Amino acid sequence: MRRLVAETVLTVDDLVAPLFVADGIAEPRSVPSLPGVVQHTVGSLVAEVERLAGLGVPGVILFGLPRPEDKDAAGTQAYAPGGITQRALAAVRDRVGESVVLMADCCLDEFTSHGHCGIVDPRSGEVDNDATLPLYGEIAVSQARAGADVVAPSGMMDGQVAAIRKALDGAGLTSAAVMAYAAKYASALYGPFRDAAQVSIAGGGDRRAYQQDVRNRRESLVEVLLDVDEGADVVMVKPALTSLDVIADVRAAVDIPVAAYHVSGEYAMVQAAAERGWIDGDAVAVEQITAVKRAGADLVLTYFAGHLAALLADG
Ligand code: PBG
């Protein structure tokens, strides 16, 4: 009876796996604050995407990490045709064909020496929103050319979706989709991600000038509706569990797919408590991701994707 009347059913079809691929490493490297997550080589990444495809996971999102010495103020490696993300996309596409949706995080922070998601104006020391937009266009075009089906701008610059859509269309990449990190909070839950992505913000700065204030709910709808207007194909809310109200608001307000990102800190907390035997990690993972779907998300980006796929397959 419970099966018959369940309102929300979590399936493997809802999951997207975030994956890291690093330039200049010979072996995959573990990330201590994200147990089970590694920085891949291009080779190990291809194998992992094949494994996930075998488990039925429909999508992956790639984060490319340049060699530390290749970072610069303009984040050049983010849009270099031979950059790590572009090489990884091509290699994965080559091996798995069309069986997995390939998404690419479209941002600068992994590639800039100062760690911000945009170009920093040397006079003011602040991120220059409008100077950043053409670079996002270049990143998106280079990623779509390399094989990305979906580019996912995560930098929260105003006008980023319109700039990217225009750049993609101008390059003839009209079928590349844009999944916008639309409502993204300046959250302390991204800590382990910054370890995994080797990002630290110069001078101990933060992203509060471009990411949202957790105290604000209605602001998310403003952000989301702007992105829909600018041509987003999917809108994302992030983090997930601290934004269930926002996910529900967004679901009610738009008719395009809604994604939610269960972020690194959310994953790490479950893993840490489970390691100590304080909670049942598998049960909590299923409960949390189901709740994110219940709130209104059509797809969930989660570091649990592969594990959940295996769990769900076992019933
Ligand atoms: C920015 C980006 C971040 C995450 C995804 N894209 C970090 C940030 O905004 O500081 C965080 C994801 C996570 O914590 O799992 N490129």
pLDDT in tens, the chain (315 residues): 999 999 999 999 999 999 999 999 999 999 999 999 999 999 999 999 999 999 999 999 999 999 999 999 999 999 999 999 999 999 999 999 999 999 999 999 999 999 999 999 999 989 999 999 999 999 999 999 999 999 999 999 999 999 999 999 999 999 999 999 999 999 999 999 999 998 999 888 899 999 999 999 999 999 999 999 999 999 999 999 999 999 999 999 999 999 999 999 999 999 999 999 999 999 999 999 999 999 999 999 999 999 999 999 987
- 184 is a catalytic site residue: yes
Task: Round to whole Å and give the CA distance between 85 and 78.
Answer: 7
- 238 is a catalytic site residue: yes
Task: Round to whole Å and give the CA distance between 131 and 15.
Answer: 34
- For 185, which DSSP code? B
Q: Say if ligand 1 is within 6 A of residue 111 CB.
A: no
Which residue's C-alpha comes closest to atom 14 of ligand 1? 190
Q: Say if ligand 1 is within 6 A of residue 264 CB.
A: yes
Q: Say if ligand 1 is within 6 A of residue 212 CB.
A: no
Q: Which CATH code for domain 2-313?
A: 3.20.20.70
Smallest CA-to-CA distance from 21 within 252, 197, 186, 178 is with 197
Give distance in angstroms: CA of 289 to centre of ligand 1. 18
Q: Specify the ligand 1 atom closest to the Cα of 192.
A: 14
Helices 244-253 and 218-229: angle between axes, nearest 10 degrees: 40
pTM of whole model > 0.95?
yes
Domain borders along the chain are 2-313
Which residue's C-alpha comes closest to atom 8 of ligand 1? 190
Give distance in angstroms: CA of 183 to centre of ligand 1. 13
Smallest CA-to-CA distance from 211 within 179, 244, 242, 188 is with 188
